[in-house]
Amino acid sequence: LRCERVQRTPITTRADFEQAAWWEFVRTDNMAVAWRAIQMIFVAAQISQAPN
């Protein structure tokens, strides 16, 4: 089992978020785990887009 960080495209639209959510689910095959990861991705996206 190899764990690699995939270079993610910035999440700017709902479609981007849904695509990220889908791939996270496919990768983990576990909705609970995927959802936690998805929420973290979304929070990170929100932080990265917040004006400083």
Q: pLDDT (tens digit, 9 = 90+) per residue, 4-51?
A: 555 555 667 778 777 877 777 787 777 788 788 778 877 877 777 666
Q: Flag whether pLDDT at 3 surpasses 50.
A: no
Q: Flag whether pLDDT at 1 surpasses 50.
A: no
**Alpha carbon distance 32, 52 (integer Å):** 32
Q: Which amino acid is at 36?
A: R
Q: State the Cα torsion 17-19-23-28 to the nearest 10°.
A: 40
- Please state whether the predicted TM-score (pTM) of the whole model is above 0.75: no
